[in-house]
């Protein structure tokens, strides 16, 4: 399967690792939109948050267990933002489920 994030997880494409465990891998975004911009991906290839079901939702719960640890490692005690883009209207460019963690500075006005 030709997937950039699967290749990053496999170490075939270099990345700046921030966190990893049995369920997820987190690395710095190549095009940061904030001082700290981390992409958190499940080790399993799941297309997007629209493809979550009972059989794979453990990856999502494990990622959300990891998020406070990643935030603590980055000293984001003043807060941060988590975003996931889904499909064409959501402007998802990489078709492997991922959560953007943005922080490290005051973020711009939120959409919602
Ligand atoms: P999205 O637009 O939500 O699908 O976000 C995909 C993100 O992935 C985008 O912010 C840039 C990042 N990205 C794409 N390719 C690479 C890569 O090869 N390395 C790293 N570090 N980030 C990448």
Question: What's the pLDDT tens digit per position in 17-67?
Answer: 999 999 999 999 999 999 999 999 999 999 999 999 999 999 999 999 999
- Give residue 15 CA to ligand 1 midpoint distance, Å: 11
Pocket lining: 85 vs ligand 1, CB cutoff 6 Å: yes
Percent of the chain with pLDDT over 90: 96
Q: How far is CA 59 from the centre of its chain?
A: 12
Pocket of ligand 1 contains residue 83 by CB under 6 Å = no
Q: How confident is the model at residue 1 (pLDDT cuts 50, 70, 90)?
A: confident
pLDDT of residue 2: 94
């Amino acid at each position: 399967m030709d997937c950039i994030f699967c290749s990053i997880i496999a170490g075939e494409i270099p990345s700046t690792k921030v966190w990893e465990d049995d369920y997820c891998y987190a690395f710095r975004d190549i095009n940061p939109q904030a001082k700290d911009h981390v992409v958190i991906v499940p080790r399993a290839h799941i297309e997007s948050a629209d493809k979550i079901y009972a059989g794979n939702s453990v990856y999502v719960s494990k990622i959300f267990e990891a998020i406070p640890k990643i935030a603590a490692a980055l000293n984001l005690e003043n807060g941060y933002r988590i975003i996931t883009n889904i499909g064409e209207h959501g402007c998802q460019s990489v078709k492997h489920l991922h959560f953007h963690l943005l922080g490290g500075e005051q973020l711009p006005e939120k959409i919602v």
